[in-house]
Structure 1
């Protein structure tokens, strides 16, 4: 029997959700601080190591799932995380990247249509169209021309996040924390190899980094990944996705205001207008329940 998750939401659950979205919104600042002092792959290697060391004693390895975990890791690590960290490192418009990443759910709808024949309804198609129109408008913001590569990398990162959502569909035999833990374990040698091949000495980078740089990478590992994603996985078992998914649209709002205050980023009407269009499109997708 299917469990009905559409029930009243307690103040405790609203408080947990608010904490999750706050942690995720501030994560963009943490990543920016981290990659300003560490090269991208060095930062990711440190991040994955912290996650693995903290979770491995408590999370069992899911036997017989190596191929699935390897595929998930390849999509998450060079795809989503690698491109996300690189895009944030190469732009001053961190708030814009946080908005573009919200296209991840749109890509998951497209990929579900292709791979699982989940035909989206008119609301989802309209939402996809609206979201991509917003991204096009965002790309034509004059102040973003110097960071076009970063915006494209952010868009690709959102695609891989959508792809990740498709990969974990039906993987109920692997717990969310196990995915976080063991995909991080697989990501350590991958990140270290790329760091050794493409970046300055890891030891030198670690010695040169300030406390703020270390705190940025540590925050991304503990606050965003372990606490944020771990709590989110628990909430997904308490409430329906149709209720939870639209609430994630608060994340880029938090990120934009936080980056404006911390990094003194310019906040133009053009960016606000484009961001609202993107969020409206993704909101239309997430609140739509029908596939027919």
Structure 2
């Protein structure tokens, strides 16, 4: 990669990591489901009029919009509102790589290699350590919501894999149109119209700033830049930078929110990030390994899943 491309990859990881701290601040201004709905509304408008028509079938846009926008982000915002720390959320969500690999194996028949299987076990050990740490200091229910969000993220990754969008920014903008009405409806049912209207009436520059950051900076810029990098470099070269997200997430939460980072949490971070790194390893197939002779070459199943590397490392 060129130095400018390296800088862009690190910048995107930093934006996505800091985004968790911004969400924590925003939850002080909005109910969680309303905040999530506003995020997608602002991300979709006016960008939807600038990116052109969808380049994949609507069934994939709707499916990813529901799995990623409504289920995953709704659970993340609810979990953080229920007491899950921002830094720990940025870390625990990385277990989506394990869920992605497991779901892909079950649905797409993509068997994980031994290295990836070992990475899954290491990452799950990190989740167990993080659960012990959170259980000693915070609500386990909120922790479980974020783990469930990571599972929904894995589902959306596999759906995105099947959709195979040629333009990541175009796809993400159209996906952002789907969750708005379901999230607003759920907010009215569970959070109440009075609470939603009170939050909107009390809107100030800080609340508006959090919505603009999570919508335009973390979503539109983040996914657009990540997709731009993936079109110019192999996914295996871009993927490792996503592992910097929890580093920036935990650091920014400690710096701006005063969240403590215990030794046990650092241990969980090392296990989880290391396990995800192993899970993201793509084996290289050498020409010398192919059978020789005049017979036909064995058929393959195509590229291995790179869902954990396609930029879905942001809340």
Do these two structures clear the TM 0.5 threshold for a shared fold by scoring above it? yes
What are structure 1's unaligned runs of at least 5 residues?
A: 1-8
Q: CA deviation at 1:85?
A: 1.0
2:222 paired with 1:228 = yes
Q: By how many angstroms is 1:274 displaced?
A: 1.2
Q: Which residue of 1 aligns with 2:26?
A: 34
Q: Please tell me the root mean square deviation across aligned C-alpha atoms, in Å.
A: 1.8
Alignment partners' CA distance in 2, 1:257 and 1:65: 39
Tell me which residue corresponds to 2:153: 161
> Does the 8 A contact of 1:139 with 1:145 survive in 2?
no
What are the equivalent positions in structure 2 for 1:1-292 lying under 5 Å apart? 9-62=1-54, 65-91=57-83, 93-141=85-133, 144-173=136-165, 175-201=167-193, 202-289=196-283
Change (3 A) 1:242 1:173: closer
Aligned residues: 283
Q: Measured at CA, do residues 142 and 168 of structure 1 come closer, stay the same or move farther in structure 2, by a change above 3 Å?
A: closer
Instruction: Provide the rounded CA distance (Å) in 1 between the counterparts of 2:148 and 2:134.
Output: 21
* Alpha carbons 1:95, 1:256 under 8 Å: kept: yes
- Distance in 2 between residues matched to 1:289 and 1:83, nearest whole Å: 33
**Matching residue of 2:290:** none
**Partner SS state of residue 248, structure 1:** helix
Residue 62 (structure 1) shift: 2.3
SS at match of 2:233: coil
Q: TM-score, normalised by structure 1?
A: 0.91
- State TM-score, norm by structure 2: 0.85
Q: Which runs of 5+ in 2 are unaligned?
A: 285-303, 305-315
Residues 223/18 of structure 1: CA separation in 2 closer, same or farther (3 Å cut) = same
Query: Quick check: which has more Rg, 1 or 2?
Result: 2
- C-alpha displacement at 1:170, in angstroms? 4.1
Q: 2 CA distance for matches of 1:89 and 1:196?
A: 17
Cα-to-partner distance string for 1:63-95 (whole Å, 9 max, x where unaligned): 772222111111012221111111122225211
